[in-house]
Structure 1
């Protein structure tokens, strides 16, 4: 897939609100794969490179990544009003649904079917994250480090967090400092 699709833009604040409401309703707890497909491939509001860059920024900002991304996309096209419309789309209807589900869950939390369903959902979420990571690899061709070095740092991050159980902050600060230094030297 080409990473340089022609950009389009949302047609109105209502388009932003509806798009992000639908996006938020498609996933629960991990919508990276869905966000990438909708914003890059379907709506073409972002190129793959823009998505990777914006997603990286969204991850380091406080708060949920996809909410941060919605704010950035909304602001990019309509300023503060766009950011608020995208944020409202991400939160309003899903908030109501979560409140209803919380009341229902309180009644059936210990039921074996509910416990099993939640375990199954966590496996699906892990699969979606892995699939999205694989889809984002082609965007690394324009990374200043190059694809191979970026993948080595990805593997080091995985080993540090998942296998060695090091604190996320230490791994990200350590590897992030090294990659920032390397990129600075290459761009200099």
Structure 2
């Protein structure tokens, strides 16, 4: 029914616009998306993008299906306590996960193997099953603790992709900068796309 499945998690770091653009790109690529939003992510989404999404998960799923004109269950929004959802178990979870943006608190929890909420548990599942995990931190400057946690994850095979867009494509808008990072994610997931210009194009 769908080309593939992916877990997309959103935490309370700045950079909600990147998440919105990535979600749209994954829908357009005919992916099924298990969507996990932390409480802090909803606050940042409201603050940065003036987006006020429904609190109840059933209402949120209905909202997302209408907003993105998706197939049924193409976006499956989950709550932090949906421990019986597919993403919580290695026997059923997608083998790809992106955390965009990823707070340094979430990054630290994953690096230490904690599973205090569904986002952390989903990442833990990806790691133990040797899947593909992309974390996209947005912080500056990075402390030594942040850098050590990133190194730990990198040594475990995680792709650490800070939200730090390039400028060689001569961006004219904030959307151009968001597209740069979304295109990099799509490349790493090996999903074909036509987002933005590549080097020397």
Normalising by structure 2, we get a TM-score of 0.26
Which structure dedicates a bigger proportion of its chain to helix? 1
Which structure dedicates a bigger proportion of its chain to strand? 2
The structure number with the bigger radius of gyration is 1
